[in-house]
Chain A
Amino acid sequence: MISILSSTPVSPVSPITNVLPLSMVLFVSLVKEAWEDWKRFQNDKTINNTSVDVLQDQKWETVSWKNLQVGDIVKVKQDGFFPADLLFLASTNADGVCYVETANLDGETNLKIRKALEKTWDYLTPEKAFEFKGEVQCEQPNNSLYTFTGNLIIEKQTLPLSPNQLLLRGCSLRNTEYIIGAVVFTGHETKVMMNSMNVPSKRSTLERKLDRLILTLFVVLFCMCLIGAIGSGVFLDRKYFFLGLRGPALSADMNPSNRFVVALLNMFTLITLYSPIIPISLYVSVEMIKFIQSTQYINNDLHMYHVETNTPALARTSNLNEELGQVEYIFSDKTGTLTRNLMEFFKCSIGGELYGTGVTEIEMGEAQRNGIKVDEVHKSSNTVREKGFNFDDARLMRGAWRNEPNPDMCKEFFRCLAICHTVLPEGEETPEKIRYQAASPDEAALVAAAKNFGFFFYRRTPTLIYVRESHVEKMGKVQDVPYEILNVLEFNSTRKRQSVVCRYPDGRLVLYCKGADTVIYERLAEGNNDLKKTSREHLEQYGAAGLRTLCLAYRDLCSDTYENWNEKFIQAKSSLRDREKKLDEVAELIEKDLVLIGCTAIEDKLQEGVPTCIETLARAGIKIWVLTGDKMETAINIAYACKLINNDMKQFIISSETDDIREVESRGDQVEIARYMRDAVKNQLKKCHDDAQNYLRSLSPPKLALVIDGKCLMYALDPSLRVMLLNLSLNCTSVVCCRVSPLQKAQVTSLVKKGARKITLSIGDGANDVSMIQAAHVGVGISGLEGMQAVMASDFAIAQFRFLTDLLLVHGRWSYLRICKVVTYFFYKNLTFTLTQFWYTFQTGFSGQRFYDDWFQSLYNVIFTALPVIMVGLFDKDVSASLSKKYPELYKEGIRNTFFKWRVVATLAFFALYQSLIVYNFVIASSTNSVDSSGKMFGLWDVSTMAFNCIVVTVNLRLLMMCDTITRWHHISVGGSILAWFMFILVYSGVYTPRGIYSVFYVLISTVYFYTTLLVVPIVALFGDFLFQGVQRWFFPYDYQIVQEMHRHEPDSSSAGLLEIGNQLTPDEARSFAVAQLPREKSKHTGFAFDSPGYESFFASQAGVLAPQKPWDVARRASMRSRAKTPRKN
């Protein structure tokens, strides 16, 4: 707009000088956009050129994805991705089924079955498929992943189609050699693409605040113009004959007869004159800085490069760098983000004896905090590591348990592990090749543990379990023992235990039971209190170490008792009403008088460095919320493991798993349930809220933690309760939301984002985290694994949760600091410059005469002051990276937005005012008389050039004053900018132009005045800043300044830390006996290992309704043996 104005006759400056900087700015941003587009284009190209087999003339032709058309018949091989939404026709599997993995869509890792219509099963070979003629009638493309309706018309028959026949793009084929499908939707019409909404363009909070600052500047500009305009209207008078205000051709802006028009037109003149107050180049500079920050720094940071997955960090947008420095709330997914979704048998306690030497992440962190050095002992047995088994204690391995104090107990322990489970073995029946299929990875880990102890479960029939037992009778002897499984008492979330009644080949009848410590201890036989006590202690130790524990127990049954009970059991099993309930009741009858064997500890393996990272982030003032689809127990356990919750915290648990709620639910009236739930949630919430207030009012308020489940959350998010929920949760240091649907994750995120106006960050790895990632201010995806959905939706992608420390505390903080400095500096320099111009206006009869030459004005922002500030944006750092991480508290300055408060801006504005007054008045006052011994006087342009001179020097020196580090680039750019000005003016005033400026500079430098003024003005102008900074640092130091002082003699130590990166030790390697033998903390909380990470269907949790726990149908699972692979960790 100013450019347009400047081309009108009211302008005091020539249009070119205004248009040029603007077009430069536009050009730079265009180049940047083009580059990003080009990258996107490259990306698209690789995807588009992925090839797929398409049927052409009875042959399979390889065609790239982009050439795929609706109606094509395609063949997708195992592990391949579907290139489009396909109508499933035929598969190599019998029954026309195929298995698909939908991890890309919903984050679920279990395979799903798709079944083709019987009519189309035969179209498997190209010859046959070529004959396929059919017509598909179906719905319009839509974004619903779980619905599909349509008809297939072949041979004049109309067959209904369901989602079962649809293979969605983005899924991949598993356990099936290949399938044949017909393309239904392609490209943007596929359901995935319809789902991928336009990524909401995110702008950082700082930038939004910057907009407000710019707006303020506009207001200031307007005020300045208004003052000038009024002045001009008043001033203009015919008495100033020398202005020649006469004649008919007098233009309106100089016609004293109509002062209003004069003022109005002058307003526009002044707008163009003062336009440099608006830093046009600011946005482009900031973008440039951020772009380099993200592409060069974040993407290339070796600290954030993950060797195992070969994944560097990736900043997918450069808009949000400084937002990373202000994050106050982190919303984290659990599985795959905090944990590896990998259960490992870790420790056990048998008959009161502790086994297992491993050290968990948490203990390591604890030990490091206590200053104990963790020796990095490399285990020799590292080579035989197996998935699910991370146990090392020679006392139990290879039959050594026979020499332990309780060999019989050990035997029972191992048998219990080998028999009491619902695992299916798969593959070859050798210990090396066998694979266990289990409902939860916990179970698989336990069975694998038994295998490693020499009790190898290798075959299951509906009635028998075969175990290959070693060293039982004597060392080295191996025998296959079939155990008859008489009854399986299922696990469910109320029982929290699982039992198996089995008959030994010798006729012994035993009930093996494993379950949560609380339920097992209730059912133990009297006596043997020592064992119970020591086991209890062990359980507590395990709990403190963040392990998931299970108690193992058995009971010898005599056949009479059993037969009696079995009758009841069969009755209950065959009952039609309330079968579940009755089964539970019957189970109670036999699960008593148990004998405790011991307990197991399974590590829900956290991602590397998670507890330390979380602790660091907590110290940085960041609050971490865990939002997970898992069950409450798992979630709480992980929260303990991650040090999010500890025993000192006051916990509030809002759960829908209470008896009365269950009772209401069992009645099944939806309206009633909803009403009851709402009330229950409201009451619980209110109670927690009041309690929280009470606690906070107490003298030393404890830390609070809130645990809430998805169903309650659904009601708590209701507008009427939302405020209370928000208040409560903001008072809590950690919040765990379990059983939440993806949508709820997003809702919780926006609750904090919008309700509390805090800056939020979401981190997740799966498709179910996408909504949350998009809802938060900053979305971070975990990259390096298969699922790319989260990464595609994210703003930043990192390979490990722990890299958040670097991303936030180092990159985020620096970026925030830098951008703040850049923005405030831009503000300052433009204000200073424009104000001198403003002061001059008063001396020119408010005519809008420019003080500076056009070119000075336009090149001021583009050349004379542009580069140094970019250097600050790139290189400035207050403290080194390692110190940033050592003192995470420094991050709080960002959360509080210390460096871009209005107060900071006001201080700068004040100094801009001061400096402009100094520069203007000093230059003017010192030039009122002749300035050298020749007695000649200066003209307008001499004075203005001098003033500009002083401004350029002052402003550039001011930049150096606000740098915390000065690299040679600073020197080069600051020196270069000042030099550039002198070079420019030497040339500009040296070459003749029909302007006042010609030869001015040569006149200037021939006078003493030039030197004396140039020396005094910048020093006086910066005097105030210098004084302010000195006093501020001395009396009101910022934290970072103290840290700088504390480490002022240390060289930058971050390069030393780099050496560690090359051979970063995995935690397994870093374990040591030393730490294992440390006196342990005890935790009242004992994690409980049977609740499998929720594999409930996506729909169910989304609707806020639990899917009923399916009875463990061994037979059904046995029929699915063809599954070649275990579910992959996500």
Chain B
Amino acid sequence: MSPGGAEGGSETSSAATKKHSKKPKYSRFTQQELPACKPILTPGWVITAFIFIGVIFIPIGLASLFASRNVVEIADRYDEDCVPSIYASDTLAYIRSSQTNKSCTKTLNVPKKMKNPIYVYYQLDNFYQNHRRYVKSRSDKQLRSKANEYKTKDCSPEATVLVSNKEMPIVPCGLIAWSMFNDTYGFSLNDKAIQVNKKGIAWKSDGEYKFGSDVYPKNFQSGVIGGAKLNENIPLSQQEDLIVWMRTAALPNFRKLYGKIEVDLEVNEKITVVIQNNYNTYSFGGKKTLVLSTTSWIGGKNDFLGVAYLTVGGLCLFMAISFIFLYVVRPRPLGDPSYLSWNRNPDGLFFN
């Protein structure tokens, strides 16, 4: 603008309409006038929200608790019982020795009728499948395709093995596979063996995509033996035990599916289990538990969700009631200007 322009006198309204007007254009965005809803968390809203949540949650909680209670679960810890008493003081020697008899027979009582399918789990405690060193010690590439046999970068120390002075890859490589669980369970009812179906215990996608059908175990467990051995004639994609094991658990206490029993078990029937107690959890004080469980729509026996829903729902209802109570006892009129800090008595109380 020319210096004299401002005092030109005649330009008042014409200046605004001039071509060079710097007047900002109106838009709802720049003037910050976008349409908006202005939610105010009034007591009414708070109470309504609480009641709403309460009303929804309590039925869900009841339903899931009910479902969870209907699940029948037998859990039997056997790691201690299955060590002969002469080895009680030296469990390590027992488990490491290849000479000792690892068989162990246990009898389980069925507390309630269990409808098939009954799922057989083994549960390990204090087993850090989620340890950083452990989790990464695998080669997904190798598991998937024969072509990637040599991709054993992360698998150390179970990556390669010297076969006639040649570094040969271990398939499947890594600590996870190497330490695979190798206890076995044989079930019988009244001396009649019960078949355990080991098919379909892994998530379908694992078997189909993660583990190749052309990958066969090679050089596996040829050094220090960590756990189960694999049949070198079956491709990995069909070794479901391995697939289940390789889906590492999130917590150090975990269950893994062993198989399915496809017969119903009646109340008070006694099941005999013959356990081949091969797996070493004794060195680190881990527990081994055999679990038989039915499922419901929410899965296995787990009251947690049901209780959580019920608690939250109840708490919400309680809060709603206490808010209503407070509202009656100590009402605050909405938008009362006397509550503004500058209208308030400087040393006055908040509520009066």
Q: Which residues of A contact B (CB under 8 A)?
A: 12, 79, 172, 237, 239-247, 249-250, 254, 269, 296-297, 299-302, 305, 307-312, 784-786, 814, 843-845, 847-850, 875, 877, 881, 887, 889, 892, 922, 924-940, 942-944, 963-969, 992, 994-996, 998-999, 1002-1003, 1007-1009, 1012-1013, 1015-1016, 1019-1020, 1023, 1026-1027, 1029-1030, 1033-1037, 1039, 1041-1048, 1052, 1054-1055, 1058, 1128
Contact = CB atoms under 8 A, between A and B. Distances in A.
Given A241-B283, A933-B299, A1037 B339 contact: yes
A311 B22 contact: yes
B259 to A, nearest CB: 10
Given A307-B15, A312-B22, A992-B209, A1009 B257 contact: no
B340 A309 contact: no
B255 interface: yes
Interface stretch (B83-91, B97-105, B131-139, B161-169): B131-139
Contact of A301 (B4, B30, B38, B49): B30
A254 B36 contact: no
Interface in B78-119: 117, 119
B49 to A, nearest CB: 7
Contact of A968 (B35, B117, B332): B35
Given A300-B24, A935-B117, A1034 B332 contact: yes
B15 to A, nearest CB: 5
Given A938-B250, A994-B141, A1023-B312, A296 B30 contact: yes
The 7 A-B pairs at the shortest CB distance, nearest first, are namely A1045-B335, A929-B300, A1046-B335, A935-B119, A999-B205, A994-B140, A939-B247
Contacts of B150: none
A1058 B244 CA distance: 68
B46 A243 contact: no
B130 interface: yes
B187 interface: no
A939 B335 contact: no
A849 B260 contact: no
B336 interface: yes
Contacts of B134: 242-243
A264 to B, nearest CB: 16
B15 A937 contact: no
Contact of B312 (A312, A849, A936, A1019): A1019
10 contacts: A240-B131, A241-B283, A254-B133, A847-B128, A924-B251, A932-B297, A935-B260, A996-B248, A1016-B305, A1035-B350
A674 B226 CA distance: 94
Contacts of B26: 302, 1058
Nearest to A293: B32
- Number of chain B interface residues as a range: 35 or more
A239 B21 CA distance: 81
Contact of B40 (A843, A924, A1048): A1048
Given A242-B175, A1009-B298, A310 B350 contact: no
A936 B257 contact: yes
Contacts of A1128: 7
Contacts of B297: 932-933, 1008
A1048 B38 contact: yes
Interface in B321-346: 323, 326, 330, 332, 334-337, 339-342
Prevailing SS type, chain B contact patch: loop
Given A940-B248, A1030-B43, A1042-B340, 5 more contacts: A843-B251, A892-B341, A930-B257, A1009-B305, A1043-B340
Given A297-B30, A307-B16, A933-B295, A965 B37 contact: yes
B128 A240 contact: yes
A935 B134 CA distance: 25
B348 interface: no
B131 A845 contact: yes
Contacts of A937: 121, 244, 247, 249, 254-257
A935 B114 CA distance: 14
Contacts of A1048: 38, 40, 334-335
B64 interface: yes
Contacts of A932: 295, 297-299
Contact of A875 (B30, B36, B42, B250): B36
B66 to A, nearest CB: 13
Contacts of A1058: 26, 31
B255 A1039 contact: no
Interface in B247-298: 247-257, 260, 280, 283-285, 293, 295-298
Contacts of A966: 36-39
Contacts of A844: 128, 130-132, 252
Given A875-B36, A1016-B57, A1034-B43, A939 B205 contact: no
A305 B24 contact: yes
A814 B33 CA distance: 13
B349 to A, nearest CB: 11
A1037 B30 CA distance: 30
A12 B132 contact: yes
Interface of B: 1, 3-4, 6-7, 12-13, 15-16, 18, 20-27, 29-43, 46, 49, 53, 57, 60, 64, 117, 119, 121, 127-135, 137, 139-141, 144, 156-158, 175, 178-179, 201-203, 205-206, 209-210, 224, 226-227, 244, 247-257, 260, 280, 283-285, 293, 295-302, 304-305, 308-309, 312, 315-316, 319, 323, 326, 330, 332, 334-337, 339-342, 350-351
A936 B202 contact: yes
A664 B139 CA distance: 95
Contacts of B250: 843, 924, 927, 938-940, 942-944
A1030 B144 CA distance: 54
B340 A889 contact: yes
B284 A1055 contact: no
A12 B227 CA distance: 26
A926 B302 contact: yes
B157 A249 contact: yes
B284 A301 contact: no
A1019 B40 contact: no
B73 to A, nearest CB: 8
Given A302-B23, A998-B210, A1033 B248 contact: no
Contacts of A922: 304, 308
A51 B3 CA distance: 17
Contacts of B298: 931-932, 1008-1009, 1012
A667 B22 CA distance: 58
A1103 to B, nearest CB: 31
A16 B213 CA distance: 32
B20 A310 contact: yes
Nearest to B282: A239
B157 A926 contact: no
Contact of B23 (A240, A305, A995, A1002): A305
Contacts of B330: 1035
Contacts of B31: 300-302, 1054-1055, 1058
Contact of A310 (B4, B15, B121, B283): B15
Contact of A309 (B6, B40, B285, B308): B6
A929 B295 CA distance: 10
A828 to B, nearest CB: 18
A237 B132 contact: no
A310 B18 CA distance: 10
A244 B156 CA distance: 9
B157 to A, nearest CB: 5
Nearest to B283: A239
